């Protein structure tokens, strides 16, 4: 595990965007795994500006997003498809047909696991970007998730619903389920970059970096990955030994 310490989320965005763009420039048909939430926004902002400045070509890039809220159509302004279009895809020359987000209208795990088949069909994910939940979730793999899990319908914990309520008018509007890539789906990526910033993530970061590997902290499974870079700021690292 490689650890990069930065001062804040703004600097994290610059560092992570540089790492991603380096991979895009070295492999034009790269397959990227992408994340939503507040952590990667500065990364996407830097990707957009640098792609324009340096004329970086995204036309052969394929992307797979980690998750989507169950029950939200892709056109809903709180759906992760809407988020990705708004925060990244609409501003670079990527082909929309090469961008994949799980459907929020899936009703069975059999349907959900077709997402893993689609990833496999594209040769697997070369680089997966992750955020980190305050309870250690990655994607929407909440505490207790199966380390061998593939894409499936998952229940969101109360803490996750509360954390995500800031994006909705009312907490009761927050979906209680999601479709999420499983921990095995994530671990199958050839490389992983994880962003964690802010004091609220400090305990999760401690368990991610220091272990032990436990289903109580799903992020701890990443200790088993052979090529992972963790980008953390001063606040998120304050509980590390």
Q: Is the peptide bond before 212 cis (omega within 30 degrees of 0)?
A: yes
Mean pLDDT for the stretch of residues 170-198: 96
Mean pLDDT for the stretch of residues 160-186: 93
Q: Is the pLDDT of residue 170 over 90?
A: no
Mean pLDDT for the stretch of residues 117-121: 98
Alpha-carbon distance 184 to 149, whole Å?
5
Q: Is the pLDDT of residue 118 over 90?
A: yes
What amino acid positions are annotated as catalytic residues?
Answer: 67, 135, 137, 142
Alpha-carbon distance 128 to 8, whole Å?
21
Give the single-character DSSP code of 46.
Answer: H
Please give the domain boundaries of the chain with CATH numbers for all domains.
2-126 (3.40.50.1360)
Label residue 122 by pLDDT band (50, 70, 90).
Answer: very high
The 10s digit of each residue's pLDDT in 19-54 is 999 999 999 999 999 999 999 999 999 999 999 999
71 torsion bin: left (phi>0), alpha (psi -120 to 50), beta (else): left
What pTM, to 2 d.p., does this model score? 0.96
Alpha-carbon distance 67 to 102, whole Å?
6
- Look at residue 83 and give its three-state secondary structure: helix
């Amino acid at each position: 595990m490689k650890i990069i310490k930065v001062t804040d989320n703004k600097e994290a965005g610059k560092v992570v965007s540089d790492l991603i763009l380096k991979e895009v420039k070295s492999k034009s048909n790269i397959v990227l795994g992408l994340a939503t939430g507040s952590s990667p926004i500065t990364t996407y902002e830097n990707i957009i500006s640098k792609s324009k400045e340096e004329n970086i070509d995204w036309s052969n890039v394929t992307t797979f997003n980690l998750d989507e809220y169950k029950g939200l159509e892709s056109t809903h302004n709180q759906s992760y498809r809407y988020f990705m279009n708004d925060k990244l895809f609409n501003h670079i020359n990527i082909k929309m047909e090469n961008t994949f987000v799980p459907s929020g209208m899936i009703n069975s795990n059999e349907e959900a696991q077709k997402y893993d088949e689609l990833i496999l069909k594209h040769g697997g994910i070369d680089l997966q970007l992750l955020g980190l939940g305050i309870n250690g979730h990655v994607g929407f793999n909440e505490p207790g998730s199966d380390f061998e899990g593939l894409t499936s319908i998952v229940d969101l914990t109360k803490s996750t619903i509360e954390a995500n309520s800031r994006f909705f008018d009312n907490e009761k509007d927050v979906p209680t389920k999601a479709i999420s890539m499983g921990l095995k789906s994530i671990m199958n990526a050839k490389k992983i970059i994880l962003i964690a910033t802010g004091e609220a993530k400090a305990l999760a970061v401690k368990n991610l970096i220091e272990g032990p590997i436990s289903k109580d902290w799903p992020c701890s499974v990443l200790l088993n990955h052979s090529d992972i870079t963790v980008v953390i700021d001063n606040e998120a690292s304050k509980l590390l030994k």
